[in-house]
Chain A
Amino acid sequence: MEAKTLFDKIWDAHVVKQVEGGPNVLYIDRHFIHEVTSPVAFLGLKNRGLKVFRPAQTTATPDHNVPTENQHLSIVDEMSRNQVEMLRRNCEEHGITHYGLGNDGHGVVHIIGPEQGLTQPGMTIVCGDSHTSTHGAFGAVAFGIGTSEVEMVLASQCIMQPKPKKMLITVNGELKPNVTAKDIVLYIIAKISTSGGTGHFIEFAGTAFEQLTMEGRMTVCNMSIECGARGGLIAPDEKTIEYVKGRQFAPKGEDWDKAVAYWKTLKTDEGAEFDMAYNFDAADIEPMITYGTNPGMGIKISENIPTSEGLVGNDKVSFLKSLEYMGFNEGEAIAGKPIDYVFLGSCTNGRIEDFRTFANYVKGKKKADNVVAWLVPGSVAVEKQIREEGLVEILEAAGFELRQPGCSACLAMNPDKVPAGKYAVSTTNRNFEGRQGPGARTLLASPLVAAACAITGKVTNPSDL
Chain B
Amino acid sequence: MIDKFIKIQSSAVPMPIENVDTDQIIPARFLKAVERKGFGDNLFRDWRYTSGNTPNPEFVMNKPEFSGSILVGGKNFGSGSSREHAAWAIYDAGFKVVVSSFFADIFKGNALNNGLLPVQVSPEFLDEIFATISKDSKSTFTVDLEKQIFTNDATGNSFEFEINAYKKVCLLNGYDDIDYLVAMKEQIAEFETK
Q: Is the CB of A195 within 8 A of B82?
A: no
Q: Is the CB of A412 within 8 A of B184?
A: no
User: Does B7 touch A at the CB level, under 8 Å?
Assistant: no
Q: Is the CB of B82 within 8 A of A155?
A: no
User: Does A392 touch B at the CB level, under 8 Å?
Assistant: no
Query: What's the least CB distance linking A459 to chain B, in Å?
Result: 23
CB within 8 A of A411: which of B28, B32, B127? B28
CB within 8 A of B35: which of A43, A144, A314, A432? A43
Q: Which of B23, B32, B191 has the most CB of A within 10 A?
A: B32
Residues of A within 8 A of B167 (CB): 22-23
User: Does A162 touch B at the CB level, under 8 Å?
Assistant: yes
Interface stretch, picked from A34-42, A373-381, A447-455, is A34-42
Q: Is the CB of A412 within 8 A of B178?
A: no
Q: Is the CB of A43 within 8 A of B36?
A: yes
Residues of A within 8 A of B105 (CB): 164, 198-199, 228, 230
User: Does B142 touch A at the CB level, under 8 Å?
Assistant: no
In the complex, A128 Cα to B18 Cα: how many Å? 25
Q: Is the CB of B23 within 8 A of A435?
A: yes
Q: A25-B181, A157-B188, A194-B76 are in contact. Are A39 and B109 (CB under 8 A)?
A: no
In the complex, A86 Cα to B32 Cα: how many Å? 11
Residues of B within 8 A of A128 (CB): 82, 84
Q: Is the CB of B178 within 8 A of A317?
A: no
Residues of A within 8 A of B164 (CB): 21-23, 162
Q: Is the CB of A39 within 8 A of B34?
A: yes
Residues of B within 8 A of A160 (CB): 166, 177, 180-181
Residues of B within 8 A of A317 (CB): 16-17
Closest residue of chain A to B21 (Cβ to Cβ) is A432
Q: A17-B187, A420-B51 are in contact. Are A79 and B33 (CB under 8 A)?
A: yes
In the complex, A22 Cα to B82 Cα: how many Å? 21
Closest residue of chain A to B101 (Cβ to Cβ) is A314
Q: A17-B187, A146-B84 are in contact. Are A195 and B113 (CB under 8 A)?
A: no
Interface string of A242-261 (1 = CB under 8 A from B): 00000000000000000000
Interface string of A80-91 (1 = CB under 8 A from B): 101100100000
CB within 8 A of A318: which of B19, B35, B82, B110? B19
CB within 8 A of A439: which of B51, B83, B102, B182? B51
Interface string of B129-167 (1 = CB under 8 A from A): 000000000000000000000000000000000001111
Closest residue of chain A to B180 (Cβ to Cβ) is A160
Q: Is the CB of A17 within 8 A of B184?
A: yes
Interface string of A45-79 (1 = CB under 8 A from B): 00010100100000000001100000000000101
Interface residues of A in 119-139 (CB under 8 A from B): 128-130, 132
Query: What's the least CB distance linking B52 to chain A, in Å?
Result: 11
Residues of A within 8 A of B21 (CB): 294, 430, 432
User: Does A413 touch B at the CB level, under 8 Å?
Assistant: yes
Q: Is the CB of A434 within 8 A of B87?
A: no
Q: Is the CB of A432 within 8 A of B184?
A: no
Interface residues of A in 3-23 (CB under 8 A from B): 16-17, 19-23
Query: What's the least CB distance linking B143 to chain A, in Å?
Result: 21
Query: What's the least CB distance linking A132 to chain B, in Å?
Result: 8
Query: What's the least CB distance linking B43 to chain A, in Å?
Result: 14
Interface residues of B in 73-132 (CB under 8 A from A): 74-76, 79-85, 87, 102, 104-106, 109-110, 113-114, 127
Residues of B within 8 A of A412 (CB): 27-29
Q: Is the CB of B165 within 8 A of A21?
A: yes
Interface string of A276-317 (1 = CB under 8 A from B): 000000000000000000100000000000000000011101
Interface residues of B in 1-58 (CB under 8 A from A): 16-19, 21, 23-24, 27-29, 31-36, 46, 51
Q: Which of A77, A129, A144, A148 has the most CB of B within 10 A?
A: A148
User: Does A149 touch B at the CB level, under 8 Å?
Assistant: yes
A-B contact pairs, 26 of them (CB 8 A): A20-B166, A23-B164, A23-B166, A23-B167, A27-B191, A40-B35, A40-B36, A48-B178, A82-B34, A83-B34, A128-B82, A146-B113, A147-B110, A148-B114, A148-B178, A152-B177, A152-B178, A155-B181, A155-B182, A157-B192, A159-B181, A160-B180, A195-B104, A228-B104, A314-B18, A438-B27
8 further contact pairs, Cβ within 8 A, besides A21-B165, A36-B32, A435-B28: A16-B188, A19-B166, A40-B36, A145-B109, A156-B182, A156-B185, A420-B51, A434-B27
